[in-house]
Amino acid sequence: MTMAMTPADTARHLRQMIAALEAERQALAALDLEALVAATQEKHALCTTLAPVPHLPDDADCRALAESARALNEINRRVRNLLAAQVAARIDGLAGQARPYSTSRAA
């Protein structure tokens, strides 16, 4: 039988998630594959830890931490997409299929 996670536990795990997201952003900026893999593994472990929490506690600290984590994750997603778009554009250029840079995807 597992005990329910307390608001303090949830906040601690959210702080760890923020740290992992910040490490991911630094790894993306440095194009450091080992650090990126480590940050991804940490995020996955924390998601698994937080999975049993059905919703955030009615706690301003937890809500603020969750919002910070959400915002950092969104920034990192945009950076990953930008890097992927740059690689795709370079590959297209090498293949003689140069296209103007675009952030939209074909449907």
What would the pLDDT profile of 15-60 be if each residue is shown by its tens digit? 999 999 999 999 999 999 999 999 999 999 999 999 998 888 889 9
Q: CA separation (Å) from 14 to 3, 41, 56, 62?
A: 18, 15, 11, 8
Closest CA to 44 of 68, 13, 71: 13
**Predicted local confidence at residue 54, as pLDDT:** 87
Model confidence at 3, pLDDT cuts 50, 70, 90, reads low
What would the pLDDT profile of 77-99 be if each residue is shown by its tens digit? 999 999 999 989 989 888 887 66
pLDDT of residue 8 exceeding 50, the answer is: yes
